[in-house]
Amino acid sequence: MKTVSKQLLVEQWQTLHNDHENYESYALIIKLVAITITLFALAFSVTSMATLLLLATLWLQEGIWKTFQQRTVNAIIVIEDKLALTETEHQKESIQPYLLYKQWQENRPATVHLLPNILVIH
């Protein structure tokens, strides 16, 4: 693979990574707005139905952002796979930062290990 195409892959990775981080920021803002609405509703005795409809809308919006974010991760991993194929022993250090998502996925514990120890039956 040519150096130019590797550079293009790196640029695409950086763009998608920035998009991934932006989606996370948007999801956090949505959560903060939902908390604010909940506190406002509790403080001023706003009707439950109106509050629930607003919170449901925000919950769905966050789901949409998280779906976009996951699709971005899938695209990033495809790019990382292509970058991993291009790396030689000499280039290993320069490519390593761009294999972040792939390494995280490989080192992520199984679902069972994510549960707290208090749920494990002795």
Domain residue limits, the chain: 3-119
Position 120 scores a pLDDT of 52
Question: Which of these ranges, 44-48, 71-75, 83-87, 113-117, has the smallest mean pLDDT?
Answer: 113-117
* 76 within 8 A of 16, measured Cβ to Cβ: yes
* Per-residue pLDDT reduced to its tens digit, 91-103: 666 677 778 888 7
* 81 within 8 A of 103, measured Cβ to Cβ: no
Side chain identity at residue 87, one-letter code: E
Q: At how many degrees (to 10) do helices 100-107 and 48-86 cross?
A: 110
| Listed residue (100, 91, 106) closest to 7, CA to CA | 91
Which phi and psi angles does 108 have, rounded to 5°? -70, 130
Entry pTM: 0.72
Look at residue 87 and tell me whether its pLDDT is greater than 70. no
Q: 3-state class of 1 per DSSP? A: coil
Q: 3-state class of 3 per DSSP? A: helix
